Amino acid sequence: MKKILRAFLSMALVCVLLSGSLVAFAAGDAGIFNVTPATGYTSSLTYEAQTAAGAKVNSTSAEIKGYTVTNFYAKAEKMKISVKGLDNNAEYVIFVQKATGDPTAENLVYVDQQKSSSSGTVTFTAFPKSLESNVLYTVYLSGTSLSRAKIMEFRYNSGILPGDINGDGKVNNKDLTRLAQHLAKKPVETPGNTDVNGDGKVNNKDLTRLAQYLAKKPVEIF
Protein backbone atom coordinates (compact mmCIF):
# COMPACT_ATOMS: atom_id res chain seq x y z
CA MET A 1 0.00 0.00 0.00
CA LYS A 2 2.89 2.31 0.84
CA LYS A 3 4.31 1.89 -2.67
CA ILE A 4 0.87 2.56 -4.15
CA LEU A 5 0.49 5.74 -2.14
CA ARG A 6 3.92 6.95 -3.18
CA ALA A 7 3.20 6.18 -6.82
CA PHE A 8 -0.08 8.07 -6.66
CA LEU A 9 1.64 10.95 -4.88
CA SER A 10 4.18 11.23 -7.68
CA MET A 11 1.44 11.09 -10.31
CA ALA A 12 -0.61 13.72 -8.53
CA LEU A 13 2.35 16.06 -8.17
CA VAL A 14 2.97 15.81 -11.91
CA CYS A 15 -0.69 16.65 -12.52
CA VAL A 16 -0.39 19.72 -10.34
CA LEU A 17 2.67 20.91 -12.21
CA LEU A 18 1.00 20.38 -15.57
CA SER A 19 -2.23 22.15 -14.69
CA GLY A 20 -1.81 25.64 -15.41
CA SER A 21 -13.80 34.16 -6.44
CA LEU A 22 -17.06 34.39 -3.65
CA VAL A 23 -16.23 38.02 -3.42
CA ALA A 24 -15.91 40.33 -0.44
CA PHE A 25 -17.87 43.56 -0.17
CA ALA A 26 -14.60 45.39 -0.84
CA ALA A 27 -11.29 44.51 -2.42
CA GLY A 28 -8.50 43.60 -0.02
CA ASP A 29 -10.39 41.15 2.20
CA ALA A 30 -8.49 38.06 1.10
CA GLY A 31 -8.53 34.96 3.27
CA ILE A 32 -9.92 31.52 4.05
CA PHE A 33 -13.40 31.11 5.54
CA ASN A 34 -16.17 28.63 6.35
CA VAL A 35 -13.70 25.95 7.44
CA THR A 36 -15.83 22.92 8.26
CA PRO A 37 -14.62 19.51 9.50
CA ALA A 38 -16.53 16.68 7.81
CA THR A 39 -19.06 14.51 9.61
CA GLY A 40 -17.16 11.98 11.69
CA TYR A 41 -14.11 14.22 12.07
CA THR A 42 -15.44 17.05 14.23
CA SER A 43 -13.69 15.68 17.33
CA SER A 44 -10.64 14.02 15.76
CA LEU A 45 -9.55 16.88 13.47
CA THR A 46 -7.91 20.14 14.47
CA TYR A 47 -6.66 22.92 12.21
CA GLU A 48 -4.79 26.19 12.27
CA ALA A 49 -5.10 28.79 9.51
CA GLN A 50 -1.76 30.38 8.57
CA THR A 51 -0.36 33.08 6.34
CA ALA A 52 1.99 32.12 3.52
CA ALA A 53 4.86 32.83 5.94
CA GLY A 54 3.44 30.42 8.51
CA ALA A 55 2.04 32.91 11.03
CA LYS A 56 -1.10 31.78 12.86
CA VAL A 57 -4.30 33.60 11.87
CA ASN A 58 -7.21 33.99 14.26
CA SER A 59 -10.83 33.98 13.16
CA THR A 60 -12.56 37.32 12.65
CA SER A 61 -15.88 38.50 11.25
CA ALA A 62 -16.45 39.46 7.62
CA GLU A 63 -19.16 40.15 5.08
CA ILE A 64 -18.82 38.14 1.90
CA LYS A 65 -21.31 38.38 -0.93
CA GLY A 66 -23.75 35.50 -1.18
CA TYR A 67 -22.49 33.52 1.84
CA THR A 68 -23.08 33.23 5.55
CA VAL A 69 -19.57 33.43 7.00
CA THR A 70 -19.04 31.22 10.04
CA ASN A 71 -15.36 32.10 10.40
CA PHE A 72 -12.92 34.22 8.41
CA TYR A 73 -9.12 34.03 8.53
CA ALA A 74 -7.75 37.19 6.96
CA LYS A 75 -4.67 36.73 4.76
CA ALA A 76 -4.63 32.97 5.42
CA GLU A 77 -3.32 30.89 2.51
CA LYS A 78 -2.52 27.55 4.10
CA MET A 79 -3.85 25.19 6.76
CA LYS A 80 -2.07 23.10 9.38
CA ILE A 81 -4.29 20.04 9.75
CA SER A 82 -3.99 17.24 12.33
CA VAL A 83 -6.10 14.08 12.49
CA LYS A 84 -5.95 11.68 15.44
CA GLY A 85 -7.34 8.18 15.96
CA LEU A 86 -5.58 6.74 12.90
CA ASP A 87 -3.29 3.72 12.55
CA ASN A 88 0.04 4.05 14.34
CA ASN A 89 3.18 4.68 12.26
CA ALA A 90 1.26 4.44 8.97
CA GLU A 91 1.54 6.38 5.73
CA TYR A 92 -1.24 8.83 4.81
CA VAL A 93 -1.86 11.03 1.78
CA ILE A 94 -3.78 14.30 1.89
CA PHE A 95 -5.48 15.87 -1.15
CA VAL A 96 -6.88 19.37 -1.47
CA GLN A 97 -9.03 19.87 -4.53
CA LYS A 98 -11.72 22.07 -5.99
CA ALA A 99 -15.22 20.77 -5.26
CA THR A 100 -15.66 17.00 -4.88
CA GLY A 101 -15.12 13.90 -7.00
CA ASP A 102 -11.98 12.25 -8.29
CA PRO A 103 -8.74 14.30 -8.28
CA THR A 104 -7.64 15.52 -11.71
CA ALA A 105 -4.97 17.81 -13.15
CA GLU A 106 -7.62 20.55 -13.29
CA ASN A 107 -9.05 20.36 -9.77
CA LEU A 108 -6.14 19.16 -7.61
CA VAL A 109 -4.33 22.02 -5.85
CA TYR A 110 -2.30 20.21 -3.19
CA VAL A 111 -1.13 16.69 -2.31
CA ASP A 112 1.29 15.43 0.34
CA GLN A 113 2.25 12.23 2.17
CA GLN A 114 3.15 11.94 5.86
CA LYS A 115 3.61 9.18 8.41
CA SER A 116 1.40 9.08 11.48
CA SER A 117 2.92 9.14 14.95
CA SER A 118 3.16 6.20 17.35
CA SER A 119 -0.11 7.46 18.86
CA GLY A 120 -1.95 7.51 15.52
CA THR A 121 -1.89 11.22 14.72
CA VAL A 122 -0.88 12.64 11.34
CA THR A 123 -0.20 16.31 10.64
CA PHE A 124 -0.02 18.14 7.33
CA THR A 125 0.58 21.76 6.42
CA ALA A 126 -1.49 22.16 3.28
CA PHE A 127 -0.27 25.03 1.10
CA PRO A 128 -2.25 24.94 -2.18
CA LYS A 129 -0.50 26.17 -5.31
CA SER A 130 -3.38 28.59 -5.86
CA LEU A 131 -6.73 29.47 -4.35
CA GLU A 132 -9.63 31.05 -6.20
CA SER A 133 -12.71 32.86 -4.99
CA ASN A 134 -16.18 31.37 -5.40
CA VAL A 135 -14.73 27.85 -5.12
CA LEU A 136 -15.43 25.11 -2.58
CA TYR A 137 -12.23 23.31 -1.59
CA THR A 138 -12.47 19.78 -0.22
CA VAL A 139 -9.77 18.00 1.79
CA TYR A 140 -9.44 14.20 1.55
CA LEU A 141 -7.27 11.75 3.47
CA SER A 142 -6.19 8.28 2.30
CA GLY A 143 -4.22 5.54 4.04
CA THR A 144 -3.70 1.81 4.35
CA SER A 145 -7.00 1.30 6.18
CA LEU A 146 -8.67 4.54 5.09
CA SER A 147 -10.10 4.80 1.59
CA ARG A 148 -10.05 8.47 0.56
CA ALA A 149 -12.19 9.99 3.29
CA LYS A 150 -13.45 13.56 3.16
CA ILE A 151 -12.16 15.26 6.31
CA MET A 152 -12.95 18.96 5.82
CA GLU A 153 -13.88 21.72 3.40
CA PHE A 154 -13.34 25.47 3.17
CA ARG A 155 -13.76 28.44 0.89
CA TYR A 156 -11.48 31.31 -0.11
CA ASN A 157 -12.00 34.97 -0.85
CA SER A 158 -9.38 36.57 -3.09
CA GLY A 159 -10.22 40.17 -2.22
CA ILE A 160 -10.32 40.99 -5.93
CA LEU A 161 -13.30 42.83 -7.37
CA PRO A 162 -15.88 40.73 -9.24
CA GLY A 163 -15.06 40.84 -12.95
CA ASP A 164 -11.53 42.15 -12.44
CA ILE A 165 -9.98 39.33 -14.43
CA ASN A 166 -6.58 40.97 -14.91
CA GLY A 167 -6.36 42.13 -11.29
CA ASP A 168 -5.69 45.82 -11.98
CA GLY A 169 -8.39 47.05 -9.61
CA LYS A 170 -10.84 48.00 -12.37
CA VAL A 171 -13.56 46.18 -14.31
CA ASN A 172 -13.60 47.15 -17.98
CA ASN A 173 -13.07 45.87 -21.52
CA LYS A 174 -9.51 44.91 -20.67
CA ASP A 175 -10.95 42.20 -18.44
CA LEU A 176 -13.22 41.02 -21.23
CA THR A 177 -10.19 40.72 -23.50
CA ARG A 178 -8.17 38.91 -20.83
CA LEU A 179 -10.97 36.41 -20.25
CA ALA A 180 -11.27 35.77 -23.99
CA GLN A 181 -7.52 35.17 -24.16
CA HIS A 182 -7.74 32.77 -21.21
CA LEU A 183 -10.54 30.82 -22.87
CA ALA A 184 -8.44 30.64 -26.04
CA LYS A 185 -5.67 29.09 -23.89
CA LYS A 186 -3.32 32.02 -24.38
CA PRO A 187 -0.49 32.26 -21.79
CA VAL A 188 -2.01 35.13 -19.79
CA GLU A 189 -2.39 35.68 -16.05
CA THR A 190 -5.88 35.77 -14.54
CA PRO A 191 -5.64 36.92 -10.89
CA GLY A 192 -9.40 37.50 -10.80
CA ASN A 193 -12.14 34.89 -10.74
CA THR A 194 -12.72 33.55 -14.26
CA ASP A 195 -15.95 31.80 -13.26
CA VAL A 196 -17.84 35.06 -13.73
CA ASN A 197 -21.34 33.60 -13.56
CA GLY A 198 -20.54 31.38 -10.55
CA ASP A 199 -21.72 28.08 -12.01
CA GLY A 200 -18.49 26.22 -11.22
CA LYS A 201 -17.30 26.17 -14.84
CA VAL A 202 -15.22 28.52 -16.98
CA ASN A 203 -16.48 28.82 -20.54
CA ASN A 204 -18.07 31.20 -23.05
CA LYS A 205 -21.04 31.71 -20.71
CA ASP A 206 -18.69 33.62 -18.42
CA LEU A 207 -17.54 35.79 -21.33
CA THR A 208 -21.16 36.54 -22.18
CA ARG A 209 -21.99 37.37 -18.55
CA LEU A 210 -19.08 39.79 -18.24
CA ALA A 211 -20.03 41.47 -21.53
CA GLN A 212 -23.59 41.87 -20.24
CA TYR A 213 -22.32 43.38 -17.01
CA LEU A 214 -20.11 45.85 -18.86
CA ALA A 215 -23.13 46.78 -21.00
CA LYS A 216 -24.93 47.58 -17.70
CA LYS A 217 -27.39 44.72 -18.03
CA PRO A 218 -29.07 43.63 -14.74
CA VAL A 219 -26.85 40.57 -14.21
CA GLU A 220 -24.76 39.38 -11.27
CA ILE A 221 -21.06 38.57 -11.48
CA PHE A 222 -18.72 36.82 -9.08
Q: Is 181 exposed, middle or buried (0-12, 13-18, 19+ CB in 10 A)?
A: middle
CATH level 2 (architecture), domain 161-222 = Orthogonal Bundle (1.10)
Helix, strand, or coil (residue 171):
coil
Q: Is the pLDDT confidence value at 11 over 50? A: no
Kindly list the distances between the CA atom of residue 85 and the CA atoms of 22, 93, 138, in Å, as whole numbers in the listed order. Answer: 34, 15, 21
The pLDDT tens digits of the residues spanning 30-73 come to: 899 999 999 999 999 999 999 999 999 999 887 776 677 889 99
pLDDT tier at 188 (50, 70, 90 boundaries)? very high
Alpha carbons 176 and 169: distance in angstroms, whole number: 14
Q: Taking CA 101 as the corner, what is the angle to CA 83 and CA 66, rounded to the nearest 5 degrees?
A: 85
Tell me the mean pLDDT in the region 119-140: 90
Tell me the mean pLDDT in the region 152-160: 87
Q: Is the pLDDT confidence value at 138 over 90? A: yes
Q: By mean pLDDT, which of 38-47, 59-68, 103-112, 143-152 is the weakest? A: 59-68
- Is the torsion defined by CA of 71, 74, 79, 84 positive or negative? negative
The pLDDT tens digits of the residues spanning 73-89 come to: 999 999 999 999 999 99
Q: Is the pLDDT confidence value at 7 over 70? A: no
- Is the torsion defined by CA of 139, 112, 107, 50 positive or negative? positive
Q: What's the one-letter identity of residue 98?
A: K
* Domains in the chain: boundaries: 2-157, 161-222
pLDDT tier at 5 (50, 70, 90 boundaries)? very low
- Is the torsion defined by CA of 142, 146, 149, 154 positive or negative? negative
Alpha carbons 142 and 145: distance in angstroms, whole number: 8
Q: Measured in whole angstroms, how far is the alpha carbon of residue 12 from the centre of its chain?
A: 16
pTM surpassing 0.75? no
pLDDT at 207: 96
pLDDT at 159: 78
Tell me the mean pLDDT in the region 195-218: 91
pLDDT at 65: 67
Helix, strand, or coil (residue 38):
coil
Nearest to 195 by CA among 204, 187, 186: 204
Q: What is the mean pLDDT of the chain?
A: 84
